[in-house]
Structure 1
Amino acid sequence: MHSQGRLYALVLLATTSALALTACGSAESSAAPSTATQDTALSVDSVALTFELDGKTHTIVGSVADGLRTCDDRFVTVAAQEFPDAGVQLGLTGGSVRANVAAWAVGDYAVQFLGEGDIERSDADSSISGSNVTGTATVRAVPAGTSPRLNDLDMPGGERVEATATFSVDCPTP
């Protein structure tokens, strides 16, 4: 398996593990992710995944507040505890400004993103953010009126598209 394939497999395994850890949450959430415009200003502990499908641009925004939070110098995971799912995982290289990024969110579409790009770390407020990190995503329409978990959907059967991820997470390192 070539290195990109290994990275993809590792990120999917980590994403699945993170989702399994959040399975204790309730089946409903009052703060559902929404479809928004590409210029959405994100609050801390948010992720926005933007992609084009059938000639239309879609942005799915999710909150990752009050959930799983693992922060160290090499790997960051911040994921929602409540439904619908949303999360960000970063593979970091020391003090580098580049990261491997896996992100997911569920709204009108379920989206799994994988890419690489520049990030910003702020020691002042322990935040890590990325803006328009490029990559690819697997997307799948979510039936109206439902709030499925990402791992309950047939994501491998979704459509593969180019995408960007924008995120801001609070992640103090020990």
Structure 2
Amino acid sequence: MADVKPRFITPDGLQRLRGEYETLFATERPKVVEVVSWAASLGDRSDNADYQYGKKRLREIDRRLGFLSRVMKAAKVVDPANQVDRDQVRFGATVELADEDDHRRTLTIVGDDETDAGNGRIGWSAPLARALIGARVGDERIVRLPVGEKSYEVMAIRYPAGDAKTA
């Protein structure tokens, strides 16, 4: 347990995890418990699909709740809006990249528990994110991927607006 990685997460990512936890705990789980109780009252449980499926779904929900609870407890929230070195790629940065063929893509470096590649959010420990950390606009980074090496140039770096002390 000496090699435990910190569980960095953005405030938005933590909020999404809390929302999922609350929905599962306060809404979905009680509904499934109700179905299981109803199905159990019908008698023979061995041939009761509602009971069998409900118990399976309860185990899935409880596993997910346990996972979310552990992640939230270990989370170290890092607000990218407070980033001081905005000219370098750091955690929470939104980066526009261009590859050798000038294909552009935009991605945001987030916590590993909030990744969503389809929406351009990659975990900070992913090979591409690790290669980009510390880069500035105009820097070229070579990333070793399973399909081989790929070169990217950093075209732009953005961070969320800083905390404007609004009351």
Q: Taking structure 2 as the reference length, what is the TM-score of the superposition?
A: 0.28
Please identify which structure carries the higher strand content: 1
Q: Which structure has the bigger radius of gyration?
A: 2
Instruction: Provide TM-score, normalisation by structure 1.
Output: 0.27
